[in-house]
A = this chain, B = another copy of it.
């Protein structure tokens, strides 16, 4: 079992930077930090120098594995990354699905090791940031420091979202609405999208049996909440779905 691709490296898997960093990074998690008011051109340049473009990774390739020494965080540029743990019984516990623009690895700072596995669900492109380097840069760029704080602060809240004891329906609705909103943030359609993960992976995320996931989705379809064929989802009754999700998402 080989390790991930996040170890310090300067080999072929790092793409040469293109000549159009601005548009390339416009959907990146750090774009707000980069483009926002206070950051001047030289600062932007410093951040760009720091980035290593990694990929494409194919489905099943690991970004990092539990226990790997921590050295870098990464922003998803394209594709979906799944973070997960294998518990004592050998069952997979999915911690999150990470879409373009989202950052992974922030939970590894604490004990200098990645506390979970991260794997590509489809073709994935990443921007790798050496953490010591970006932390150092953050001491000179308050906007960047603030942005890192916010990213981490948000993850604290996200992690506790699905911690409550809610019904299978509510969990599924919250999952779909959450996905829809995050996709919308990056310019994708919030009503029609493709699931990049299997029913089983959704189940492992929502702490349910795959059979339950399947049954709930079918019932949602019968009730006119959505249409789903394979992994193609179309939300038909957004208000009702949001009402279900409300108990978890809170707004």
Contacts and interface: CB of A to CB of B under 8 A. Distances in A.
B164 A149 contact: no
A149 B146 contact: no
Given A88-B246, A108-B153, A159-B163, 15 more contacts: A87-B250, A95-B160, A106-B152, A106-B156, A107-B157, A109-B149, A109-B152, A109-B153, A110-B154, A139-B139, A139-B142, A148-B149, A156-B159, A159-B159, A163-B207
Interface of A: 85, 87-89, 93, 95, 106-110, 115, 135-136, 138-140, 142, 145-146, 148-150, 152-157, 159-160, 162-165, 207-208, 246-247, 250
A207 B164 contact: yes
A207 B108 contact: no
Contacts of A95: 160, 163
A156 to B, nearest CB: 4
A99 B155 CA distance: 22
A135 B148 CA distance: 11
A177 B142 CA distance: 39
Copy number of this protein in the oligomer? 2
Nearest to A208: B165
Contact of A156 (B152, B165, B208): B152
Contacts of A160: 95, 159-160, 163
5 contacts: A95-B163, A110-B157, A139-B145, A162-B163, A165-B207
A107 B156 contact: yes
A107 B136 CA distance: 23
A198 to B, nearest CB: 18
